[in-house]
Amino acid sequence: MIQTKGYATHDKNAKFVPFEFERRDVGSNDILIDIEYAGICHSDIHTAKNEWEAMMPTMYPVVPGHEIVGRVSQVGDAVTKFSVGDVAGIGCFVDSCRECSPCKDGFEQFCYKGAAYTYSGTYMDRVTPTYGGYSNNYVIDENYALKVKAEGDLAGVAPLMCAGITTYSPLRRFGVGPGQNVGIVGLGGLGHMGVKIAVAMGANVTVFSTSPSKEADAKALGAHHFVVTSDPANLAPLAGTFNFILDTVSADHDVNMYINLLGIRGTMVVVGVPPSPNTVHSFGLIFGNKTLAGSLIGGIPETQEMLDFCADHGITSDVEVIKPDYIETAYDRTIKSDVRYRFVIDMKNA
């Protein structure tokens, strides 16, 4: 077995503490990744605090982290995609059944048997717990690891593994491109990636934010317009003008005000997972044949496509690199929308 050092929380109110555990030995098809950086996704926070208890209760102790990048330090004898020294990434799942139609079609996140999520879950034996990227290594089947072309600043690459694919996938699925008005709601980890990717796809991008202080950043990220949502008067003139809106907000909020901004046959996709259910008024959808949809991360082929797209367009995440002893403060600041725009834990020196 491989000894691993990580950081875990044992209860929804507990602090993160050092946590040592074992990962499986490197099998024929496995690679061992020495983790360099792990992003802090708001899903880590929802999970550590058990905010999704009703739908997905947290398995404690939990070592979060599903935005992982590092270097391959060992390969199994049947591995073909990776060599020792390569940069590799891990996203939100590390295995699936490989036989059902979603797995065969590249939608492993929807595996009928339940994918093995990177943390707060189990491997496919349904017994062994998975521990995530707030740790110094990970053993993974090569088919569930991502190839990373980028060299240089790997800290900015880590968040692509979740924030990047979660925004790329719906933008691609609904054909966002030149000539379209696209709204991104919430300028956090997901939102700032959504802006960069939608701009690279050629769209005219508007950021909807509760934080007036983020306007200059939004423009620097490439957004064309910035709207402060706390005053409804700012939204009224925009009614019916958007082709596509991506809602990344992590907290309870009213989606109807954004549905109202969609034009005829416009689409709004929710990717944020606030703790409480939303109330949607049917009138807002039926007048205009509008679509309200959801999207969950992306499968391995599309995640690789996103990484290649980002490498080709020079897109990485804007990050604040921290040490593990800052995790709680980073969580508190993220909850207060005080992150520009992703905290990434340096695990090289942890």
Distance CA 140, CA 161 (A): 15
162 near Zn ion, rule: CB under 5 A: yes
Beta carbon of residue 22, minimum distance to ligand NAP (angstroms, whole number): 28
Q: Which of residues 203-262 bind ligand NAP (CB under 6 A)?
A: 209-211, 214, 248-251, 253
Cβ within 8 Å of residue 204, ≥6 positions away? 179, 180, 181, 182, 224, 225
User: Which residue number, 206 or 248, has a Cβ lying nearer to ligand NAP?
Assistant: 248
284 near ligand NAP, rule: CB under 6 A: no
Beta carbon of residue 229, minimum distance to Zn ion (angstroms, whole number): 23
Q: Which does 214 bind (CB under 5 to 8 A by kind): Zn ion, ligand NAP, none?
A: ligand NAP
| Strand boundaries in the chain, DSSP class E | 2-8, 17-23, 30-39, 68-75, 87-90, 93-95, 116-117, 121-122, 129-130, 137-141, 146-147, 181-185, 204-209, 225-228, 242-247, 262-270, 291-294, 319-322, 342-346
Residue 227 CB-half CA count within 13 A: 21
Cα torsion at 304, 308, 314, 320 (round to 10°)?
A: 10
Beta carbon of residue 305, minimum distance to ligand NAP (angstroms, whole number): 16
271 near ligand NAP, rule: CB under 6 A: yes
Residue 234 CB-half CA count within 13 A: 14
Q: How many helices (H) and strands (E) does the chain have?
A: 9, 19
Q: Which does 211 bind (CB under 5 to 8 A by kind): Zn ion, ligand NAP, none?
A: ligand NAP
Distance CA 201, CA 199 (A): 5
Helix 163-173 to helix 300-313 angle (10° resolution) is: 100
User: Which residue number, 111 or 270, has a Cβ lying nearer to Zn ion?
Assistant: 111
Q: Interface with Zn ion by CB under 5 A: which range of 131-139, 143-151, 157-165, 239-247?
A: 157-165
* Residue choice 70, 121, 156, 189 for contact with ligand NAP (CB under 6 A): 189
187 near ligand NAP, rule: CB under 6 A: yes
CB 322 within 8 A of CB 343: yes
Q: Which does 304 bind (CB under 5 to 8 A by kind): Zn ion, ligand NAP, none?
A: none
Q: Interface with Zn ion by CB under 5 A: which range of 50-58, 103-111, 227-235, 334-342?
A: 103-111
Structure tokens at 299: 């499968």
* Residue choice 4, 6, 30, 46 for contact with ligand NAP (CB under 6 A): 46
- CA nearest neighbour of 334 among 92, 49, 45: 45
Query: Interface mask (CB under 5 A) for Zn ion, residues 26-55, using x and -?
Result: ---------------x-x------------
Q: Which does 42 bind (CB under 5 to 8 A by kind): Zn ion, ligand NAP, none?
A: ligand NAP
# residues near ligand NAP by CB under 6 A: 30
| Residue 104 backbone dihedrals phi, psi, to 5 degrees | -70, -30
Distance CA 194, CA 330 (A): 21
Beta carbon of residue 43, minimum distance to Zn ion (angstroms, whole number): 4
User: Which residue number, 43 or 243, has a Cβ lying nearer to ligand NAP?
Assistant: 43
58 near ligand NAP, rule: CB under 6 A: no
Q: Which does 23 bind (CB under 5 to 8 A by kind): ligand NAP, Zn ion, none?
A: none
CA 327 from centroid of its chain's CA atoms = 17
29 near ligand NAP, rule: CB under 6 A: no
196 near ligand NAP, rule: CB under 6 A: no
- Contacting residues toward ligand NAP, per CB under 6 A: 41-43, 46, 162, 166, 186-191, 209-211, 214, 248-251, 253, 271-273, 295-297, 334, 337, 339
